[in-house]
Amino acid sequence: MNHGPLIFLGILVTFVMSWWGLIFAPQMQIGVQQNASLVDGIYPRPRAGLAEQGHHVYVANGCVQCHSQQVRQESYTFDVVLTAPGTNNEIVIRALGKIAPGINAGAVAAAATDQKPQTILTNVPQGVADDAQARLKKAGATAKTLFIPLGVDIARGWGSRLTVAADYLYDQPVQVGHSRLGPDLANYGQRAPSTKLILEHLYDPRLTMDKSLMPAHRYLFETKPVGKKSSPDALALTGKFAPPAGHEVVPKPEALQLVAYLQSLRASTSLFEAPASPAPQP
Are 187 and 160 in contact by the 8 Å Cβ rule? The answer is yes
pLDDT digits (tens, 9 = 90+) for 119-149: 999 999 999 999 999 999 999 999 999 999 9
Q: Assess if CATH 3.30.1390.10 describes domain 75-150.
A: yes
Sequence ranges of the domains in the chain? 63-72+180-264, 75-150
> Which portions of the chain are predicted below pLDDT 70?
1, 24, 26-40, 279-282
Entry pTM: 0.77
Cα-based angle 232, 234, 237 (whole degrees, multiple of 5) = 140
Query: In this predicted structure, what is the pLDDT of residue 161?
Result: 93
CA distance 170 to 167: 8
Q: What is the pLDDT of residue 36?
A: 59
Measured CA to CA in angstroms, residue 160 lies from 42, 131, 136 at distances of: 19, 26, 28
* Cα–Cα distance, 143 to 249 (Å, whole number): 56
**Nearest residue to 51 via CA among 189, 156, 217, 229:** 189
- pLDDT of 57 reads 97
pLDDT at 20 (0 to 100): 79
Residue 281 is predicted with a pLDDT of 43
CB 82 within 8 A of CB 108: yes
